[in-house]
Amino acid sequence: MNEYLEKFNELQEENTFRGQQWFGKRRELVEEYSWAVPSEEVLLYLSEFESLIEAGAGNGYWAHLIEERGVDVQAVDIEPAYETYTRVESGNILSDYDIRDNPVLMVWPPCDNDMAYDVVRSKPSHVLYVGERRGGCTATDSFFDEIEKYYGLVAKVDLPSYVGVHDNFYHYVRKV
């Protein structure tokens, strides 16, 4: 059950601008669930994969929902949350895991470090990216340069987003 989507939709029905700002209800929901709201459409899309690795999984909310749909998910975070929705392994995605031939999911990779860039430089077969486009609050320009150079976009799904946030799901496949 996707509680986050339900609570997000309730907030939308209230139609409160303040509630969707960082100092309002949004902050509570992000801390409890995830930076991005998973839609049923994107969860169904992800359920088509047999297995995947989630890099920077945090509390494992997305991994949990994907696992509920029958996918084998390895959720990894350099510093997992204290309380998680599923098992989140502590580790470095680049040195502790073989991601080259695996689909890698990243939900809101940080824009102030190179995690997402380092992941795509490791050449996973599929990059499943949730966040904003270049210049937004997620990933770095280096990540987008690498994606544009070595990957092709095969799918884009709009996600429910807070006011002023433009989250989407992007599925990239390695070209070479």
Q: pLDDT band for position 19 (50/70/90)?
A: low
Q: Is residue 121 part of a domain?
A: yes
Q: Which CATH number belongs to the domain containing residue 41 in this structure?
A: 3.40.50.150
The token pair at 19 is: 């509630």
Q: Is residue 140 part of a domain?
A: yes
pLDDT digits (tens, 9 = 90+) for 91-145: 887 777 777 878 999 999 999 999 999 999 999 999 999 999 999 999 999 999 9
Q: What percent of the chain is modeled with pLDDT above 90?
A: 78
Q: Is residue 20 part of a domain?
A: no
Q: What is the 3-state secondary structure of the chain?
A: CCHHHHHHHHHHHHCCCHHHCCCCHHHHHHHHCCCCCCCHHHHHHHCCCCEEEEECCCCCHHHHHHHHCCCEEEEEECCCCCCCCCCEEECCHHHHCCCCCCEEEEECCCCCCCHHHHHHHCCCCEEEEEECCCCCCCCCHHHHHHHHHHEEEEEEEECCCCCCCCCEEEEEEECC
User: What value does the mean pLDDT take over residues 162-170?
Assistant: 91
Q: How many CB atoms lie within 10 A of CB 172?
A: 23
Q: pLDDT band for position 23 (50/70/90)?
A: confident
Task: Say if residue 9's pLDDT is above 70.
Answer: yes
pLDDT digits (tens, 9 = 90+) for 112-122: 999 999 999 99
Provide the domain limits for residue 95: 37-174
Q: Is residue 65 part of a domain?
A: yes
